[in-house]
Structure formats: C-alpha cells, structure tokens
Amino acid sequence: MQDRIRPVGIDDVTAVKTIEDSCFPNPWDIDVFIALAESDGCITLRRGKQVLMHVIENNGSVAGYIVWENCPDTHKGRVLNIAVRKNLQRMDLGRSLLQHVFDSLTERGIKTVALEVREGNLAAHRLYERMGMEESGRVPNYYDNEDAIIYSITL
Ligand SMILES: CC(C)(COP(=O)(O)OP(=O)(O)OC[C@H]1O[C@@H](n2cnc3c(N)ncnc32)[C@H](O)[C@@H]1OP(=O)(O)O)[C@@H](O)C(=O)NCCC(=O)NCCS
C-alpha cells in the first residue's frame, strides 16, 4: 500500500505519542497532540498564524508525523517536529513529510522555511541537507546543554 499523508486524527494520538517517546529525550506532552487532533490537524492563532500536524501512514498504520507553522503575515514557515517510527526509518518517509510541508507552504505563498535541530542529531542534519536546506544559525544551549543548529530554505 502507498504511503498516505493526512491531517492527524484523535485515533492517531496513541501511536504518535509512542513514536514521540521513542525518538526524543524530552518528548512533547500528549496534550499538544490531542489539541491538534481535536482541531483536525490545524489550530489557528493570532494574525492568521496556523499550527498544523499531518501523519504519514505505512500499510494503514501511523508511521510518522510532522508539525509545522504557517505565518502568512511574515511569509515564513517553521517545522516544529518531525519523527518516523524507528523500524521504518531510512525508507524515505521523513523526506516525504518534509516535501509535503514545503509543497503546502509554497501553495500558500510562503517564501522561507526554518527549523531548529540538536547539534548532535546527525540523521536529521543529513535529511535537511538532502532536502536542500542550509545551516543558517546557531542558538547556544537551546536544548538544555546542547546548541540548536538552525536550518533554512528559500522555497
Ligand atoms: C530524522 C528522521 C525524521 C529522518 O526520517 P527518515 O524517514 O528515516 O528519513 P528518510 O528515509 O526520508 O531519509 C532521507 C535522507 O536523509 C538522510 N538520513 C536520514 N536518516 C539518516 C541517518 N540515520 N544517517 C544518515 N543519513 C540519514 C539520508 O541522506 C537519507 O537519504 P538516503 O537514505 O537516500 O541516504 C528520523 O531519523 C527520525 O524520526 N529521527 C528521530 C526524531 C528526530 O530526530 N527528528 C528531528 C528533530 S529536529
């Protein structure tokens, strides 16, 4: 079966949280995922800013997800979270999720996308570089004792 990318739903939250807990030392709270699922994967904030979350299915099960911001007033997008189930990594799902977000933001007139990543997360660095993103900054101690590297791309 083909991979399918769609807005997160409430039935996805348990699988999402399991992936989140297995991938990150400081996982997001389940309430964030519930709030996004209860809003059909799109929460609108002030000045039209949106926080969106889509999941990718593999053979009908949730295999990964991506959370991003769309800021129409600044024409900027930001990836807030991306993860793929460990046993399904290196199968192009991360690449598909990022491309999906780039396409979605491009359709909405967004010009640049940025994200922060732990300095030591080399798998993620390679993914972002593979997607044409470039290092554009550093935030010292953004993650407790680890710097964040900022990656960005002009769409
Ligand atoms: C980072 C992550 C989302 C990548 O997802 P993925 O589905 O495994 O990535 P893809 O299969 O689409 O990989 C695309 C490219 O990224 C690079 N890449 C991905 N994982 C890599 C790894 N472990 N080592 C080296 N390069 C890697 C490769 O260039 C790869 O292309 P290739 O397989 O043709 O060489 C996944 O490793 C993950 O969920 N990690 C834990 C959560 C996380 O760190 N998220 C990022 C937070 S900023």
The answer as to whether 120 is a domain residue is no
The answer as to whether 70 is a domain residue is yes
The answer as to whether 124 is a domain residue is no
CATH number at residue 18: 3.40.630.30
Structural domain boundaries enclosing 36:
4-111
Eight-state DSSP code of residue 104: H
122 Cα: distance to centroid of ligand 1 (angstroms): 9
What is the Cα–Cα distance from 70 to 47, expressed in whole angstroms? 11
Mean pLDDT, residues 73-90: 97
Give tens-digit pLDDT for 11-59: 999 999 999 999 999 999 999 999 999 999 999 999 899 999 999 999 9
Residue 118 in this model has a pLDDT that exceeds 90: yes
Q: What is the pLDDT of residue 144?
A: 87
Angle between helix axes 30-38 and 13-23 (nearest 10 degrees) is: 150
**Domain tally, the chain:** 1
Looking from the CA of residue 82, the nearest atom of ligand 1 is 45
Amino acid occupying residue 142: Y
Within the chain, residue ranges assigned H as helices are 13-23, 30-38, 93-107, 122-130
The answer as to whether 67 is a domain residue is yes
Report the percentage of the chain scoring pLDDT > 90: 97
What is the Cα–Cα distance from 82 to 23, expressed in whole angstroms? 10
pLDDT, the chain, mean = 96
The answer as to whether 33 is a domain residue is yes
The model's pTM: 0.97
Grade residue 2 by pLDDT with cuts at 50, 70 and 90: low
Mean pLDDT, residues 125-135: 98
140 Cα: distance to centroid of ligand 1 (angstroms): 24
Mean pLDDT, residues 110-124: 97
Q: What is the pLDDT of residue 3?
A: 74
The answer as to whether 153 is a domain residue is no
The answer as to whether 27 is a domain residue is yes
Please tell me the chain's helix, strand, coil percentages from 3-state DSSP, rounded to the nearest 5: 35, 40, 25
Q: Are strands 112-118 and 76-84 parallel, antiparallel or unpaired?
A: parallel
Mean pLDDT, residues 138-144: 94
Who lines ligand 1 at CB under 6 A? 23, 82-84, 89-95, 117, 121, 123-124, 126-127, 130
Mean pLDDT, residues 57-81: 96
The answer as to whether 116 is a domain residue is no
Amino acid occupying residue 39: S
